[in-house]
């Protein structure tokens, strides 16, 4: 297994809709294992394939450190089929390091997809698990949590975040000379 590079905002792969998985083979199983290792190493509670530069509808989630009843899950071609209630909560993202914001999400979702062996599954999530499911499925549709902020907050974020990453890049370049 290997820890993969997590793509950071504003990488173009994060803005594109991922393609459906149509073949569950050894390469996909290796990708799943690498994504799980990458998520734990980050550390994070979820990871979508586009975050590691792969345009496939594949997510991994493990919120067991916060909600014991939800161990590691792998979902291929996940789709939200039911959502209700709303909860505002702080959210962050491995592709937008060091930044969080309050985001409104459904309080409960039902998601269908395939497990890593291709078996159809249907999962109900509430609380943090529901939030993680929605967040990772958004990645498959090219949507980041910052896209769900108000336009004013989003513009403030872009200016502040891009300025911060530009300064960091310049400092790294100076150090390497």
Please identify every residue annotated as catalytic. Answer: 136
In 3D, which of 175, 94, 177, 171 has the Cα closest to residue 132?
94
Backbone angles phi, psi at 94, to 5 degrees: -65, -25
């Amino acid at each position: 297994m290997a820890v993969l590079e997590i793509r950071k905002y504003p990488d173009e792969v994060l803005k594109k809709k991922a393609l459906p998985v149509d073949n569950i083979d050894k390469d996909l199983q290796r990708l799943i294992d690498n994504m799980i290792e990458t998520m734990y190493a980050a550390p994070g509670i979820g990871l979508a394939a586009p975050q590691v530069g792969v345009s496939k509808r594949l997510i991994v989630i493990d919120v067991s450190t916060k909600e014991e009843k939800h161990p590691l899950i792998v979902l291929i071609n996940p789709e939200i089929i039911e959502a209700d209630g709303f909860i505002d909560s702080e959210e962050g993202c491995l592709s937008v390091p060091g930044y969080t914001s309050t985001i409104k999400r459904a309080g409960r979702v039902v998601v269908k997809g395939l497990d890593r062996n291709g078996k159809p599954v249907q999962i109900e999530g509430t609380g943090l698990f529901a939030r993680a499911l929605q967040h990772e499925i958004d990645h498959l549709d090219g949507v980041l949590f910052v896209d769900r902020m108000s336009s004013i907050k989003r513009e403030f974020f872009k200016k502040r975040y891009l300025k911060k990453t530009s300064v960091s890049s310049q400092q790294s370049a100076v150090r390497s000379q």
